[in-house]
A and B are shown apart, each in its own frame.
Chain A
Amino acid sequence: GAGVSQSPSNKVTEKGKDVELRCDPISGHTALYWYRQRLGQGLEFLIYFQGNSAPDKSGLPSDRFSAERTGGSVSTLTIQRTQQEDSAVYLCASSLLAGTSGRANEQFFGPGTRLTVL
């Protein structure tokens, strides 16, 4: 597609439920990134994929968070047993490649999924 797309745009869930957030990167981009933006704060890195593998998942806040990418394209971020502190905007980005300088490392962001945990 023309840009990074994310779904759903908004998700309201009850504490303790599981949620799945989806990201569709720009066609041809091999690197995919997940970030979280809590209200009034900057973006926190969660995980990134190069192809289907995740070289850096150091930002995942707990084992309730997991992500996968299949076919080198779509990625799903899953949060199990959601807590109120998980409420945030979850942003996905993609780039042509990861781990290189120059244009290849420029990240393009999707519109985000606003998650509200009641």
Chain B
Amino acid sequence: AQSVTQLDSQVPVFEEAPVELRCNYSSSVSVYLFWYVQYPNQGLQLLLKYLSGSTLVESINGFEAEFNKSQTSFHLRKPSVHISDTAEYFCAVSDGRGKLIFGQGTELSVKP
């Protein structure tokens, strides 16, 4: 069975500081990995995804994640965060057959 673990439930950080949100997964089959973001009072949006090819994937707003098969990780990073990045971030895995298995979420709180 597949599972996803997000190691930090809350991450407080100051504006312009770097941040890393950790995600580990377990799966016995090929995986497709996703990060979704949920801004306050908004719906879930896809931030970035790893399907195949380059293990480093980037989003349009400066986040990146690296698929590490040996460590079964897909950590999300940003070198300098903004107040507007305050949101809840969910890591998810799919086996390609349909459903997504989500982690518990990490609440990123960016302070001025």
A residues with CB within 8 A of B: 31, 33, 35, 41-45, 48, 50, 55-56, 59, 91, 93, 98-102, 105-112
Pick the contact of B99 from A33, A41, A42 — CB < 8 Å?
A33
Residues 31-62 of B at the A interface (beta carbon under 8 Å): 32, 36, 42-46, 49, 51-52
Contacts of A44 in B (CB 8 A): 102
How many A-B pairs fall under 8 Å by CB? 65
Contacts of A56 in B (CB 8 A): 97-99
Query: Does chain A have a CB within 8 A of B109?
Result: no
B residues with CB within 8 A of A: 4, 6, 32, 36, 42-46, 49, 51-52, 90, 92, 94, 96-105
> Could you tell me if A109 and B44 are in contact, using CB atoms closer than 8 angstroms?
yes
22 pairs, A vs B, C-beta closer than 8 Å: A31-B98, A35-B102, A42-B4, A42-B6, A42-B90, A42-B104, A42-B105, A43-B100, A44-B102, A48-B99, A91-B43, A93-B44, A98-B98, A99-B98, A100-B96, A101-B96, A105-B51, A107-B46, A109-B43, A109-B45, A111-B42, A112-B43
Main secondary structure of the interface of B (DSSP, over half): strand
Contacts of A102 in B (CB 8 A): 51
Pick the contact of A110 from B43, B49, B52 — CB < 8 Å?
B43
A48 to B95, CA, bound (A): 14
